[in-house]
Amino acid sequence: MKIGVFYGSTTGNTGAAAQAIKEEFDKKQPGMVELHDVKTADLKSMEGYDLIMIGCPTWNVGELQEDWKAQFPSLPNVNFSGKKVAIFGVGDANGYINNFMDALGILGDVVVQKGGELYGFWPTDDYNFVQSEGVVDGHFVGLALDDDNESHKSRPRVNAWCQQLMAELGL
């Protein structure tokens, strides 16, 4: 299985998460994961992967990170039909209690509208927030990380999510 991780990151936290995800999957099969910073990536290249991972922090109160924002108009041009997609995000539950992880939902909506199938839904129990566009039916639509308040939990969360994904995908 070929996995492409497409991430945007302004202060480096989502980039670090992308790297950690690659390390976890490399333990299963080295070289399985290729990382792409959306600052320079061509989103059409997503179509060349069996599993597409999308990483985006929420910025500016409920908005996409700047590089994802710039690329967002071309996201609907990607043919997600029959594609497996997993989303991860980074946010700040204390600072943005009403917009925690909104980017997960903004991106997940387009993926689903364009025929993609989302994997890696994640429980909300371990987080303190009021409202999130990233929650559907009581679950985040992807992995939620909070490096501002709970950085010590990020690596264990990444590892658990990767194990969950591998099980969901039969890897």
Ligand X SMILES: Cc1cc2nc3c(=O)[nH]c(=O)nc-3n(C[C@H](O)[C@H](O)[C@H](O)COP(=O)(O)O)c2cc1C
Is there binding between residue 10 and ligand X (CB under 6 A)?
yes
Q: Which of 70, 14, 11 is nearest to 39 (CA)?
A: 70
53: alpha, beta or left, given left = phi > 0 and alpha = psi -120 to 50?
Answer: beta
Is there binding between residue 97 and ligand X (CB under 6 A)?
no
Is there binding between residue 96 and ligand X (CB under 6 A)?
yes
Is there binding between residue 70 and ligand X (CB under 6 A)?
no
Q: Closest approach of Cβ 65 to ligand X, in Å?
A: 6
Is there binding between residue 151 and ligand X (CB under 6 A)?
no
Is there binding between residue 71 and ligand X (CB under 6 A)?
no
Which position's Cβ is nearest ligand X? 91
Q: Closest approach of Cβ 86 to ligand X, in Å?
A: 17
Is there binding between residue 13 and ligand X (CB under 6 A)?
yes
Of 21, 43, 53, 101, the residue at the interface with ligand X (CB under 6 A) is 101
Q: Which residues contact 90 (CB under 8 A, 6 or more apart)?
A: 9, 13, 14, 17, 55, 57, 58, 145, 146, 147
Of 52, 65, 133, 158, the residue at the interface with ligand X (CB under 6 A) is 65
Q: Which residue has the tokens 């679950």?
A: 139
Phi and psi (nearest 5°) for 8?
Answer: -125, 145
